[in-house]
Amino acid sequence: MEQLKVLYEDNHLIAVWKDAGVLTQSDRSGIQSLFDKVKIYLKEKYKKPGNIFLGLLHRLDRPVAGIILFAKTSKGASRLSEQFRERTLSKKYYAVVEGSFFQKNGALVHMIEKRETMNGGQRAKIMKNRGDRAELSYETIRSSKDRSLLRINLKTGKFHQIRAQLSAEGHPIINDIKYGGHQAPQFPEDAVALAACELSFTTATDNKYISLRRPYPKEWDTIV
């Protein structure tokens, strides 16, 4: 098993890095997920017999890399689930998109619905007069004629929100074929140029503020 990239751990929580192409949670494919790997890590580290508790607090799409936070206890699950519901924690993403973003800062607001696709999958559809409100703000880190690197502050947590909103504005994420992006040779088929690189939260019991940061994948610098 590939070594788990642990970014933070206490008695109630564990944060790890998910590479693009890895499932957050197992599906019908039977492929080992990040959730499975974390359970194995905890079982071996603490030499626990039988099944162990692990709470899934949030997810990232399979082609998206980033920081994932899990709960090791029911108290951790309860306290952090409340922070996710109330949006009192902070999640920031980096993305490489098609086209120029010469505006330094901006915001996107859309109405969005989750739809079934013909092949049995799901995708987000931008709507005019119905759906759930999806909102994000962005900062342009750098921009060229063809591509731009953005830092994104996610203000709502809707399904495929960032991917759908950027595509709707004519700036699909690089390698995100599902939402109109073009393939880049630097990326495997199961990866898109979107990564959740910053996560800040309050710990479950001692109210300590934790801010985690990881750099976006280094190969992005070759395409923007």
Supply the residues annotated as catalytic: 61
Sequential DSSP letters for 116-131: E-TTS-EEEEEESSSS
Cα–Cα dist 182/199, whole Å? 28
* Number of neighbouring beta carbons within 10 Å of residue 110: 22
Cα–Cα dist 29/120, whole Å? 14
Cα–Cα dist 176/193, whole Å? 8
Name, in order, each residue with C-beta under 8 angstroms of 117's C-beta and a sequence gap of 6 or more: 123
What is the rounded radius of gyration, in angstroms, for the C-alpha atoms of the chain? 18
